[in-house]
A and B are shown apart, each in its own frame.
Chain A
Amino acid sequence: MNTLAATQLVAAREIRAKLRDRTFLLSTLIFLLIAAAATTLPSLLSDGPATVAATPEVSAELRAAGLEVREVPDDAAAERAVRDGDTDAAVVAGPTVLAREEAPADVVAALSVEPPVRLLNPTPAEPPGAVLVPFVFAFVFLLTSQTFGVQIAQSIIEEKQTRIVEILVAAVSVRALLLGKMIAGTVLALGQIALVALVAVVGLRLFGDSELLNLLGPAIGWFLPYFLLGFVLIAALWAAAGALVSRLEDIGTVAMPVQLVVMIPFFGVIFLSDNAFAMQVLSYVPFSAPTAMPLRLFTGDAAGWEPPLSLALLLVTALAVLAAGARVYEGSLLRTNGNTSLRTAWRERETVD
């Protein structure tokens, strides 16, 4: 059996264990509910078109504007309908629009004439909320990589704490063990996101803004490779962090630096998103590239050759951290009676190939 087969076995076990974990199932369910609610509730809760009371002379014009019209015999009846709350508004002679507290924008628009507008430098129309899209992606990446990263570290520590690790490394290479865990984490993270995305897309198609959906398509296309490599990078960091401690209680001591490495670039991107130069730099730094480059692509600031270059940088860094993580893992594996310093773990490479 080669490393590949061993890696597959390890990954399959991790995935199976996770799919039986109640906490994981519950959190997935909650994400799905949130996605469903966020995409369907706004349109379900909105009131729909305004109702207008009007005499037969103007009712056709209002109906043509998509309003719900109730015909009344005269202006007095129309005013009564508004006062009693039977309709949102009324149109009486003048024409004058009657309403209770606020001027009803859609009724006013239906009766107004818009002057023609000629744009000299048009930009593609963006539906409201489009600006937020890359930030939502960035946040999803942050949340997922942190959640699943911690779980990779926990799984490594658990094997050390329960001592089964000695049986495992006697049978398979440390690299297979580490890689299997990272693959399992990546598959689960992507699976969870895909499921949430599916629910969101279906929700938007059925109830929401399909224009927003069209904008999301290409953005997701770029987000995926960045998510994948960015996740591998962060997973490798967490694996190395997990290898340094031997008890789950001690995970906090190594979690902080890893969290900072992920959080600082994230907030850097959020706060510097208007600074073109800073964003260009951040879109190449491997730790911020997964959030910065998709944002630049989304706003159209990045040239076509830029994403492949930054992806390559990200890949190289991820592989380097993976190799370093494996070495640290090997060096600290059997030191199950205390935490290992990074330097000791690096030097004391134990298992033999």
Chain B
Amino acid sequence: MASVMNMLRLDGVDRSFGGRRVLQNVSFDAEAGRMTGFVGGNGAGKTTAMRIILGVLAADAGQVTWRGAPLTRAVRRRFGYMPEERGLYPKMAIREQLIYLARLHGMTASAAARNTDTLLERVGLADRGNDLLEKLSLGNQQRAQIVAALVPDPEVLVLDEPFSGLDPLAVDTVVDVLKERAAAGVPVLFSSHQLDVVERLCDDLVIISAGTIRAAGSRTQLRATHTSPRYELVVENDAGWLRDHPGVTLVELEGARAVFELPRGADEQPVLHAALARGPVRGFQPVVPSLAEIFREVAL
């Protein structure tokens, strides 16, 4: 289970730019074998935190560790990184530059070529390998960019907004590839502002706002701690009486259908009994709050 030996851990990381605090005491973990979604609004500090993980920026205070040891360049060389600001060599053939990038990460020439070919095949660019990058459509350039992060067979994957700019089909391909990597025991940390994608994809969640971590943990655990239990009730006629039922907070009411919250730990069965006493009940079930709701709850 969760041990420091299989974690990428940020511990008390601070960073300012010209007196403006961008990260403040940022601590969170990305566990091996799990997809960790890093969520926050624009300017919340996601990109800065990721750049610090990769050593592209220095932290003012705090440290980043992988398997319990502070990061060095040799360790970071085994990381795969997709920066927010995309870029490859426009006038270089795709296959050649991917092999080059893999080799910069310490791979042998033959392993680099093998990985490049496998991944290009996987994202549907196998027949474009000898084309210059600039000859590709923007969507295909994005695919090549994702291959660039995956090609060195990284121990840790850090991806800044990996899905922005991808068409829905490519999103599916990339999701599959990333899940495979996670299943193979790689911690996959990815940021996104597309909460629906994160919801579909992540095991763990880190929510950042204005440079501080507001919540971090597994998705189910965050739901349990940051939202109240919520239920949907459908009756025969009008559900308006719920408004006056003790302990109930109405969230939504449309004629016979209502969504309500109960205080944490409260029993929902008395509400069901009350409904049955008034007439037939067509539906009664717990409602799982969406990530967007959790996000609103903790980040605002």
Contacts and interface: CB of A to CB of B under 8 A. Distances in A.
Contacts of B56: 166, 169-170, 334, 350-351
A351 B106 CA distance: 19
Nearest to A337: B85
A352 interface: yes
A166 B88 contact: no
Interface string A157-183: 000001111111111110000000000
Given A9-B100, A9-B104, A17-B92, A164 B55 contact: no
A80 interface: no
A132 interface: no
A260 to B, nearest CB: 31
B87 A352 contact: no
A352 B105 CA distance: 17
Given A9-B100, A13-B100, A163-B83, A170 B54 contact: yes
The size bracket of the interface on A is 20 to 34
Nearest to A172: B104
B42 to A, nearest CB: 15
Given A1-B77, A17-B92, A170-B76, A163 B86 contact: yes
A336 B148 CA distance: 21
Interface string B48-65: 000100111110000000
Chain B contact residues, majority secondary structure: loop
Contacts, number: 75
Nearest to A336: B85
Interface string B67-79: 0000011001101
A297 interface: no
A163 B105 contact: no
B73 A167 contact: no
Interface of B: 51, 54-58, 72-73, 76-77, 79, 81, 83, 85-92, 100-101, 103-106, 148, 152
Given A17-B89, A168-B104, A351-B57, 20 more contacts: A1-B106, A9-B100, A9-B103, A10-B104, A17-B92, A163-B85, A163-B86, A164-B88, A164-B89, A166-B51, A166-B81, A166-B83, A167-B88, A170-B76, A171-B101, A171-B104, A172-B73, A334-B51, A351-B55, A352-B58
